[in-house]
Amino acid sequence: MKKYIILFVITLLVCQSCNDDFLERYPETSIARENFFNSEEDLATYVYSLYDFPGFGIYVSDLSTDNAATTGVTEIKNMMIGTPTAATVTEGWSWTQLRNINYYLVNMRKAKINEAALNHYEGLGRFFRAKFYMDKVKRYSNVPWYDKALETNDADLYKKQDPRTLVVDKIFEDYAFAAQHVREDDRSGAVNKWVVLAYQARHALHEGTFRKYHDELSLQGTANIYLQLARDAAKQIIDNGGFSIYNTGKPMADYGALFNSTNLESNPEVILATFNENEKQNSGWWAYMFGNYEVNPVRDLMQTYLMADGTPFTNQPGYQTKQFVQEFQNRDPRLYQTYAYPGWELINTSTYAQGGGIYVQQLAKNFSGYHQIKGFVNNTSTAVQNSLDIPVIRLAEILLIYAEARAELGELTQADLDLSVNKLRARAGMGSLMLNAPADPVLQAQYPNVSGAQPDVLREIRRERRVELALEGFRFDDLMRWHAGKLIEKEPEGLYFPGLGKYDLTGDAVVDIILIPNTQPIPAEADKEQNSLGKKLIYYQVGPQGSDASFYLSNGTSGTSVTDPERGTFTEPKYYYRPVPAPQVLLNPNLEQVFGW
């Protein structure tokens, strides 16, 4: 039976009456210092209220990157096609979580427990503070550092931001304390030493690579400090955490099983999961990523997956004009566990108008034509859907952090690759990545600024990271830290069709759909043509963007499916950061904007 971290709803917790947007408001609370923070149970209860780990939403958070397009509104899309200002980009300046954390840290040592236990609970509080602040640094770079529970008359309420260097130093001081003192073993789903080290490694890699590739900060000389921290934290988990890559010898199933499981508790790869169970803690799952809603993976990501023999797909002659069935022939097995592929059987039809059975592409305006099955529960049982567990941290990510940090430091060896990337490839039944990997001109064009002694294998590690962690919410941060925001400008493409006519989309050599010009009406149901199996063809009117067609192709009646016809401009370095919202600057004129905001 699953063991749960109960996310207590405590109506008397700190700051519940506060407005999230105003840092100067002191958190009022009915939890008096005198009658709380007295026992280990009090501390544990409070810490559980700080848990803010992601759920099902990770599978739909690569939107507006080069991994996935969306017809919906996202912050970066609005910025790139509009004229953003501090008056219009106003999300993110919320400090409630920090107030809760600091209130806890100021008071938690009142508890009548031994010193080791106190250090454990202090470590947990400092872990959440480090995690909170890293998100703020990624967004604003410079932010005010607070390590105390502010009073209403505290002059620091109106101080200016502290420099990034100071805040980051404090973040990793918190991580260091937590890594030293938080217990190794705790209940499933709880923050333990390995979770702390995983976040430390993740955030150290982010800071190290951000400093290395963002010369506007003038911090390149300190980048290696954080790359070494990332390397060492990841290695500690690899050597001592007791985790292993989930691999039962089924390369066409093992990877995908991580993302549609109702029981990840015993999975050896999972360092932290959000556990769910029907009618106790529902996952909130729904078929958001499948069907014509707002989410659709794109061709650029699909083309990143290698061929089954380990060579780049983009080395194939005529790869630019391969059609759907051809694109999925002899590929990395992880592709078939991420994208719906020719011949896949759809069971859960809740959002899919085409209906169940062997998957036939549904084409629609502003969609790529590809559908995502990673994180999709292909089961009609509500109980199963509600019980979906979410892998928040996997050993796979830690292995990739280790490999990337070693490569950025110029230290990578074949033994390092065999310890990390090649374990992921082995699960997928793929050949090993070699230290002397040949240069891929497509990756060179994507990441021209890669520097150091091992640029080509580093680019291959970036490919591996993109594939292994695809559609789990990592891509935007990766593009930001690598100074690769310009990749978001590229129009996301979908399925390729060489022209009007009939097409097989299931891989059985029997046609399924027919494309006609948008000037031609779709025939009545009784008059529709049938294929050799006696099934009526699905008709689509095709035309250019903006026409009254069923869906759009880049050349009007041929080309790739059009999603976002104009992505706008990613302004560097400005869009790697966000402005302090204008209302906050009015409240505190000491706050300053950075990099052109």
Place of tokens 């848990």: 51
Res. 27: pLDDT tops 80: no
Within 8 A by CB and 6+ apart from 274, the residues are 53, 54, 55, 189, 283, 389, 390, 392
Within 8 A by CB and 6+ apart from 506, the residues are 325, 342, 343, 358, 359, 360, 512
Could you report the per-residue pLDDT of 486-500, keeping only the tens digit for each?
999 999 999 999 999
Structural domain contains residue 99: no
State both tokens at 425. Answer: 């490839």
> Can you tell me the mean pLDDT for 286-296?
81
The neighbour count for residue 335, using CB atoms within 10 Å, is 22
The answer to whether 495 touches 339, Cβ cutoff 8 Å, is no
Structural domain contains residue 522: yes
Rounded CA separation 35/28 (Å): 15
CA distances from 4 to 27, 122, 393, 551 (A): 29, 22, 17, 46
Structural domain contains residue 547: yes
Quick one: pLDDT band at residue 28, thresholds 50, 70, 90? Answer: very low
- Using left for φ > 0, alpha for ψ between -120 and 50, and beta otherwise, residue 478 falls in alpha
Per-residue HEC secondary structure of 321-370 comes to: HCCHHHHCCCECHHHHCCECCCCCEECCCCCCCCCCEECCCCCCCCCCCC
Domain count, the chain: 1
> Can you tell me the mean pLDDT for 39-43?
96
Structural domain contains residue 512: yes
> Can you tell me the mean pLDDT for 478-490?
97
pLDDT of 31 reads: 60
Res. 204: pLDDT tops 70: yes
The answer to whether 503 touches 513, Cβ cutoff 8 Å, is yes
Enclosing domain of residue 547: 496-562
Which H or E element spans position 89?
A: none
Spatial CA neighbour of 493 closest among 389, 316, 368, 317: 368
Please indicate whether residue 94 or residue 30 has the higher confidence score (pLDDT): 94
Rounded CA separation 596/529 (Å): 59
Structural domain contains residue 525: yes
Q: Residue 569 — φ and ψ, nearest 5°?
A: -120, 130
Res. 16: pLDDT tops 50: no
Looking only at Cα atoms, what is the longest distance across the chain?
A: 81
Structural domain contains residue 227: no
Quick one: pLDDT band at residue 33, thresholds 50, 70, 90? Answer: low
Structural domain contains residue 500: yes
Angle in degrees, CA 341, 476, 231, rounded to 5: 100
The answer to whether 485 touches 576, Cβ cutoff 8 Å, is yes
Up-side HSE of residue 466: CA atoms within 13 Å toward CB?
A: 25
Res. 178: pLDDT tops 80: yes
Res. 1: pLDDT tops 50: no
pLDDT of 30 reads: 47
Could you report the per-residue pLDDT of 60-86, keeping only the tens digit for each?
999 899 999 988 889 999 999 999 999
Res. 223: pLDDT tops 60: yes
Structural domain contains residue 215: no
The SS3 assignment for 297 reads strand
Alpha-carbon torsion (321, 446, 403, 261), positive or negative: negative
Could you report the per-residue pLDDT of 391-404, keeping only the tens digit for each?
999 999 999 999 99
pLDDT of 46 reads: 97
CA distances from 9 to 39, 107, 221, 272, 509 (A): 19, 20, 46, 21, 56
